[in-house]
A and B are shown apart, each in its own frame.
Chain A
Amino acid sequence: MPRYRICYSKTGPARYISHLDLVRELERAMRRAGLPVAFSGGFNPHPRFSFAAPLPVGVEGLAEFVDVEMTHPVTPRELAGRLNEALPPGLAVREVVEVPAGTPALAAVLDRAVYHVEVDGDALPGMLPAGAVERFLAQEKIEVTRRGKRRDIRPGLLDLSVMSRDGGLALRLELKTGGAINVRPEEAAEAFFRSAGLAVDAADMRITRAELHWGGPPRP
């Protein structure tokens, strides 16, 4: 069955859609668009969707990915056009490519993600000290607590840099994702602010997933 890789964005009100709700909304959107989605067999058929990585509720995604199987071929252009007309505000298809049979599932090959974390000036208790980023990255271990357990996120922290200081602070985080090591953007950002001596409330962090990366082609 033909398989298509859809790159989409999830912003605005759609960022509050949970992953499970997104799966249901995408199924309905495909029906509204009249697209021939393939379903699994059995008593409770599921649409054959395969997502790269669930996005946490509240986090915007600029270039998310899902593979979709169809019962018969459609052109990527038509798929994108028809689906876009059936998606609610905040969900938008950016690009579609057909992927050959046998391509591994996105979730299996997903490797890293780039996040942007923005904090407004009025939520920052002070200036970011000089050298804070270098000192943070120079650590051999960065311990965070997740569900009561201490864990070291340093191996999963690939890069951190300051993107902008205009009217606040914008960080770029590159994190391992999928597979064995999975670092959450908010825990990496919190650890950074802690090490920089800035008390920033998690409620003041606006997080966006800007990129997803995996090993090898194809990608739109």
Chain B
Amino acid sequence: MDKQLERILRQVQKPGRYVGGEWNAVRKDWHDAAIRMAFAFPDVYEVGMSHLGLQILYGIVNGRDDALLERVFAPWPDMEKQMRQAGLPLFSLESRRPVRDFDIVGFTLQYELTYTNILNMLDLAGIPLRAAERAGGGYPLVVAGGPCAFNPEPLADFIDAFVIGEGEEVLHELLDAYLAMRRRGAERREMLLHLAGIEGIYVPVFYRVEYNGKGMVQSVVPVEEGVPRQVRKRTVADLDGAFFPTRPLVPVINPVHDRAMLEVQRGCTRGCRFCQAGMIYRPVREKEPNTLLRQAGEILRSTGWNELSLSSLSTTDYSQVRPLIQELTAQYSPLGINVSLPSLRVDAFSVGLAREVQKVRRSSLTFAPEAGTQRLRDVINKGVTESDLLEAVAAAFAGGWQAVKLYFMIGLPTETDDDLAGIADLARRVLDVGRSQFGAGRRLKVTVSASSFVPKPHTPFQWEPQDTLDELRRKQAYLRRRLRGRGLVFNWHDPESSFLEAVLSRGDRRLAAAIESAWRRGCRFDGWSELFAPAKWREAFAACGIDPGAYAYRRYAYEDTLPWDHISAGVSKEYLVREHRRAMRGQTTPDCREGRCPGCGLCTMLEVKPRLVGGGKIAPVQDML
């Protein structure tokens, strides 16, 4: 190992973040690869290594004979300081090459509060921050994808091309196109124009944004021939046959999730109105149980992990979940391998599943009723009733769990103090269920966590304002007062980071200046409470003449152009409007798994079909336009 790096690594915490060498890591010959891509995760190693998308793309690109993919993560501030002092540029873990030497640098956008890390990584790599400054000089192509790419505008000045939607297929097309254009000796602009013609790729430089007198986006229009007016997301039609990483990297230093991940399905059609994932990953596509059993065996053999997590947005909704779990536990329990469910639906069925899988380890069970009253749960279309919850916790207590965690959101549209009081009442009723079951002697714990609602693009609540910081703090104080007492724990965090999340998630291109200014003032790792510096962000907004409240607190009208209207998640705007109206009337909308098509418009638009295994019923598509 290079002596300079060795010396640096002696002076940082967790040097294992920067050395690679994990089991299943792929080392390819640099000179044999026609195209070299760096996968840049704008957060720390332990977070990035828990991300399934990284493992998928790592396997896909390294599976090609002509390409290599190496990883790079955001250096923690102690490492950044050492690198800057030594003049060591950002490097990849596998070959320790400067990121600047790669052909393509791909960032994944998992949450908005990583944006300053993206700028920091580009800067540490010696790559100019803005796409316009990279026109000459042979810099890598900087691309980005992931859920936040569904509103790419705040990062539009920094990124050459965004990938909208699922990456499995379009990444191949991107690499092929890059190779073909390079062989032809294409200039950067020509290359980008070609990429902009690929379905699912958005190249912001080819769009002109106009603003109206009210300071809002008026229009976003293409400025070149062949560039689509609206970029549609990519969706993998055959998820069952799609590549899945059965030889994933096994991190040596303890990651956030230290277990094998098996994706059982993609997409969720419950239609919770605040949930962006539920909209952008549609339609629901289940994998065949036999595929899953085969992949489970391969993953466990190739990694040695002692836990297999069945991951998806709502694993208990997978139609064959019970037989799948029974088969997996029958096979792997004797080997000391646990099966785990990342989240539980709020009902007794889910608790029954949790009982089956958690034979060995006992921790707390977590449920997410999201809102404290039936009225508000109907508004957000969270199809959960109080009796669902009480039955679920009764089953949990009967199953031996003595701790239950309840997740709620505060600041939801139409929320009043009655809904907050409902949270406290519900928590007490849950505690009562436990006491009646165990008697007063047992140590029961009900933990209530309240996060702050953030309106997200492409959801029925995209038009809604966020509550002000003062109002959110008042609501937290209200809950704090009502959630005192034996057996109750209340968790909350400062809403300032939720405010910034709202600003960035609903922002437009004018925010680029503020993001850069915040980064120059030292903002890094904004999602980490110990490093988040809201005062610096306020200074940055002020210095750029931007009122962040205008982004977080604005109520859009249905007819307003939204900054992300030129990106299509497949669901129609008419559906979102209809869902928003139903929300305001407190009307729920059933899941399309249950036999009634709510007309989200996705199946007709993308020519993909929802797919349930074992003959599950899917509603015939309704054209409600």
Contacts and interface: CB of A to CB of B under 8 A. Distances in A.
Interface of A: 12-14, 16-18, 20-21, 24-25, 27-32, 39, 43-45, 57-58, 86, 88-90, 120, 202-206
Interface in B243-298: 250, 252-254, 258
A24 B21 contact: no
A41 B361 CA distance: 12
Contacts of B362: 43
A196 B573 CA distance: 76
B304 A86 contact: yes
Contact of A31 (B1, B21, B306): B306
Nearest to A17: B252
A203 to B, nearest CB: 5
Contacts of B6: 206
Contacts of A39: 336
B20 A45 contact: no
Given A27-B304, A90-B21, A120-B3, A45 B16 contact: no
Interface stretch (B7-15, B36-44, B587-595): B7-15
Contacts of B25: 88
Given A25-B252, A43-B360, A45-B336, A17 B16 contact: yes
A90 B1 CA distance: 12
B21 A12 contact: yes
Q: Range of interface residues on chain B?
A: 20 to 34
B355 to A, nearest CB: 15
10 contacts: A17-B252, A18-B14, A21-B16, A28-B250, A32-B303, A88-B21, A88-B22, A88-B23, A204-B7, A205-B10
B253 A21 contact: yes
Given A28-B23, A31-B304, A32-B301, A58 B10 contact: yes
A149 B250 CA distance: 40
B304 A12 contact: no
A190 to B, nearest CB: 13
B252 A21 contact: yes
Interface in B397-417: none
Contacts of B360: 43-45
Given A21-B254, A25-B23, A88-B21, 6 more contacts: A13-B16, A13-B19, A17-B253, A45-B360, A88-B22, A89-B21
A56 B336 CA distance: 30
B305 interface: yes
A30 B304 CA distance: 7
B10, B20, B258 — which one has the most chain A CB atoms within 10 A of its CB? Answer: B10
B1 to A, nearest CB: 7
B110 interface: no
Contact of A203 (B11, B254, B258, B304): B11
Given A27-B304, A44-B361, A13 B20 contact: yes
Contacts of A45: 336, 360
Contacts of A204: 7
Nearest to A58: B10
B361 A43 contact: yes
A218 to B, nearest CB: 29
A171 B20 CA distance: 30
Interface in B305-333: 305-306
Contacts of B16: 13, 16-18, 21, 57
Contacts of B20: 13
A20 B252 CA distance: 10
A12 B360 CA distance: 36
B449 interface: no
B253 A32 contact: no
B575 to A, nearest CB: 46
A16 B304 contact: no
